[in-house]
Amino acid sequence: MKYIKLLKTGLAAAVLSVIFVACSQTISYNQEAVRVYMKDLLNNTTFAAFKVDMDQYLPDTNIVNQIKTAFNPAQHKIYMFANFSCGCTSQQTDIAHICRVLSDSKIDTSFYEIYSMIQATDKQPYMSRISLKILPEIIVMKDTTAVYFVMDTLNRMFPAPEIEQLLLNGLKK
């Protein structure tokens, strides 16, 4: 009986040690970004909040008109990265707002790409040109150069301007 109690205590201690060690280590899964398309974001019930955020956002029409003029399809491309699997509303909200601005600006979906990723360090198709620090992030490209990081800039500004103003700032670079 004494041995059984000792065995149970030892087994419990071993299990707790394994759990403690496993939970204290950082595990890298080396995730890859997944491209997400507007048709999926607007029509898939998984992204219902995205559609609501996009529909409810009303961008400044004066800035939208300036974006129409500043956007050069021969030079500009916009890349967006967010964690769409996260319950964090700001992850999808910021992307939904910029997508509304792009839609109102009549910028075709072929000029921007949206990627879902777990962490900013996940593999993404533009790693050789773009190093992400945060999620979500919206990047304005001119030719093949990242000229403006919208969310990084937004996070450093107080009071925060409208997201469409930041997009316009990036297109003017």
How many Å apart are CA 135 and CA 32, to the nearest integer? 14
Does the pLDDT of residue 160 top 90, yes or no? no
At 17, the pLDDT band (50, 70, 90 cuts) reads very low
Please list the alpha-helical segments (H only) found in the chain: 2-24, 38-43, 48-56, 61-70, 89-104, 150-155, 163-171
At 12, the pLDDT band (50, 70, 90 cuts) reads very low
Tell me the average pLDDT across 142-168. 90
pLDDT of residue 37: 96
Task: Report pTM.
Answer: 0.80
Burial class (CB in 10 A: 0-12, 13-18, 19+), 77: middle
Give me the long-range contacts of 59-66 (CB less than 8 A, separation at least 24). 59/97, 59/100, 59/101, 59/104, 59/162, 59/163, 59/164, 60/162, 60/164, 60/165, 61/104, 63/101, 63/162, 63/164, 63/165, 63/168, 64/101, 64/104, 64/105, 64/164, 66/168
pLDDT of residue 52: 93
pLDDT of residue 42: 92
Domains and CATH numbers, the chain: 30-171 (3.40.30.10)
Tell me the average pLDDT across 57-76. 98
Task: Please state at what angle helix 61-70 crosses helix 163-171, rounded to 10 degrees.
Answer: 20
